[in-house]
Amino acid sequence: MTAAVSNFIAGYGLLAVFVLMVGESCGFPFPSEVIMPTAGVLAAAGHMNLVAAIIAGGLANLVGSLIAYWVAARFGEPLLLGPGRYIGIRRHHLELADGWFRRWGLLAVFLGRVLPVIRTYISFPAGLARIDLAKFSVLTLVGALPWCAALALVGYVLGRNYDRISGPLEKGAIAIALLVAIVIVVWYVRGREPRGGKT
């Protein structure tokens, strides 16, 4: 998966960033913790514009979140917990996001954009509750942009200084792949259903 994501972004640039970030916001297992730093590394190497990558990531997050909101509002839990299981959506994901949403209300939409797991699924309980769409959209975009910027800047700084650390960027591909793999493993473990929970 790491190689596929990296190659897709390297080959299709901003379009790939946009598509993957839309997918992540719809519940697909495409972690932004991999997508945006990869875009930042490519920006540092001169293959992508950093600001454009951040904007693309933020807008994609909004688009994906609106899709998730609409799916939840239109079809509800039967679709999310039925066919949705094939893209990794589990009941405990919805329960976690719903608990956060019930506790913080509209503020959860904003704050949830910087929290692993919650940021991916917060749109579903918002859609089920049919909260005001305009407020949802504004809070989603305002919350997503700083998150995308922070992750892209991490990749950008890494890319700008990598020569000093271990030679040409190309020779450091293994180290970058290992770092991305660790992020994916941590993201997956955090999102796994607790033992004994329902699926």
Give the span between the Cα atoms of 72 and 95, in whole angstroms.
Answer: 14
CA nearest neighbour of 181 among 10, 17, 38, 9: 38
Which candidate, 188, 192, 193, 198, places its Cα nearest to that of 29?
188
Q: What is the pTM of this model?
A: 0.70
Q: What is the mean pLDDT of the chain?
A: 75
Q: What are the φ and ψ backbone dihedral angles of 56, each rounded to 5 degrees? A: -60, -40
Closest CA to 32 of 22, 42, 41: 22
pLDDT in tens, 56-112: 999 999 999 999 888 888 876 666 666 555 555 666 656 666 666 677 667 777 777
Please, what sign has the CA dihedral across residues 103, 104, 109, 113?
negative
At residue 154, what is the residue type? V
Cβ neighbour number for residue 193 with a 10 Å cutoff: 13
Model pLDDT, residue 100: 64
Domain residue extents for the chain: 2-191
pLDDT tens column, 116-143:
767 777 777 777 777 788 988 998 999 8
Confidence at 170, pLDDT banded by 50, 70, 90:
very low
Question: Residue with structure tokens 């929970």?
Answer: 197
Tokens of 124: 């579903």
